[in-house]
Structure 1
């Protein structure tokens, strides 16, 4: 079934690409889903905190509301530093690295649930960073190329874009779970995007074609021949070690995809092949899965 306008199909395909890219860390490594499973208690402080407080809080409230997570401002409650599990510090303009105006650190014992988070934003950059960092706070770690405040080349910085809302709704939906691999998470993200399309039959067809293409590209990447997403390389922050580690992780993720039928069709032969490859690269998760698979 054809799309009403070719531009709609192009936009949808770009949206799918963005949802895939957001699952990659800028070091060049694919990531699992991490998210909050508790209320967020935020403390905003710093020498110029009063100037940026309202806008920063607005950004955090918007992302948490979209995700359905309760946000509580504990900044004025003594002792705030002991109550907060999210700290946002407005730092001096000379702080942080030259090419890093703002930064978010997520703390998790296992790559499933966020235990706490820390945000630092330079005074002169805090306004433009607020929504970008708020998305990271919610566990969305990538810097995709599409129309999102997470992009290094954004079209909008003072509010969420439609794709940001798609990400947050899917990220915190009942279908999504902390610790999901990229191939387990991608169908949840993609289906949230499909739900907003006027022509769902065509959208599903395009989604399935995207899944097949992505699987093929990632098998080539995991084999050491393909490459990381172009936008990850363009960011200039990928490392040889990150990419090498990512190939091992992707081999494991492909094994899980074929074992569970996530993004890929279920195929036990392919699952064992990719898990064995990951195991030879030292992936303990793959070693454990193979042991259970063969029992």
Structure 2
């Protein structure tokens, strides 16, 4: 029975390409949303570079990994429109580089974390510097994954992306990765934007890749409505973080509690600005008040501005 059901589904997909495209778009939208979540269980604001990247690559067996690692970062930079300059051979490389990439010995880092990237910023708007570490034996498969993080894309979504924990491709960016980067660094984006301000820009980039853009736009709007409902439940303490965040095993009670406060604030901004949802001043005040009650000073400030309108 199960085999015949699968066969029927596969036959339906073959006979109806629109079904496959709809599934692909739905998965793409989910990936775009999941990429806006930190593994701790907290939704994130948009951060990105506002200057050239000057990269220093050093460590063990560096000659074997330098070109591939540099190419991965340059490929990401091309999609983002950010210039990547190799300063590794300069005598003052450690001082002038704003991205440091270390190839570490195989016995360094945690067993379940072969590579890691740390973004440094004074405010959650603009990246000031970044540090990446990759174990020698894992550097080749980590390079593109970590380069996406260096560009400011912090999540680990499911789907067809090198950011996935189980990517289908590790030696180059996938179409969804390129779409993310183009949207992330588009003129419509600005540092510090909330997930509900970022999501429509990501979604429009994805819609633009679909053959039937009208149907894709309709599916996008349904996804927006469903996501808003889910996040209102999450902010209210009833819903949960995306499943891929739970599966990472790195979400914490503290991260999720902070995430509920942040999501309340993000919902308030969404209703205040009409981002992902229609403007609704009453809903904006409701969610900003909830975020302020949970301890968000940013919400307290915005609440005063919202009620003064």
Give the TM bin, normalised by the shorter chain: over 0.9
Q: Is the 8 A contact 2:285 2:307 kept in 1?
A: no
Tell me what 2:150 maps to: 137
Tell me what 1:197 maps to: 210
> Within 5 Å, which residues of 2 pair with 1:86-235?
86-235=99-248
Tell me what 1:263 maps to: 276
Q: Offset at 1:293?
A: 1.5
Q: Quote the Cα distance in structure 1 between the aligned partners of 2:32 and 2:147.
A: 17
Q: Quote the Cα distance in structure 2 between the aligned partners of 1:294 and 1:283.
A: 16
Q: Quote the Cα distance in structure 2 between the aligned partners of 1:7 and 1:165.
A: 21
| SS of structure 1 residue aligned to 2:171 | coil
Q: Offset at 1:130?
A: 0.3
How many positions carry a matched residue from both structures?
Answer: 293
Tell me what 1:67 maps to: 80
| SS of structure 2 residue aligned to 1:5 | helix
Q: Quote the Cα distance in structure 2 between the aligned partners of 1:16 and 1:177.
A: 21
Q: Quote the Cα distance in structure 2 between the aligned partners of 1:64 and 1:43.
A: 15
| SS of structure 1 residue aligned to 2:198 | helix
Q: Quote the Cα distance in structure 1 between the aligned partners of 2:208 and 2:132.
A: 33
| SS of structure 2 residue aligned to 1:30 | coil
Q: Is the 8 A contact 2:98 2:130 kept in 1?
A: yes
Q: Does 1:41 align with 2:69?
A: no
TM-score by length of 1: 0.98
TM-score by length of 2: 0.94
Residues 270-291 of structure 1: CA distance to partner in whole angstroms, max 9, x if unpaired? 0000000000001011100111
| SS of structure 1 residue aligned to 2:209 | coil
Q: Offset at 1:155?
A: 0.6
Q: Does 1:27 align with 2:40?
A: yes
Gapped regions of structure 1 (runs ≥ 5): none
1:243 to 256, 280, 303: 256
2:96 to 56, 59, 83: 83
Q: Quote the Cα distance in structure 1 between the aligned partners of 2:151 and 2:306.
A: 34
| SS of structure 2 residue aligned to 1:44 | strand
Gapped regions of structure 2 (runs ≥ 5): 1-15
- The list of structure 1 runs, each at least 4 consecutive aligned residues, that deviate by more than 4 angstroms after superposition, is none
Q: Quote the Cα distance in structure 2 between the aligned partners of 1:166 and 1:46.
A: 32
Q: More helix per residue: 1 or 2?
A: 2
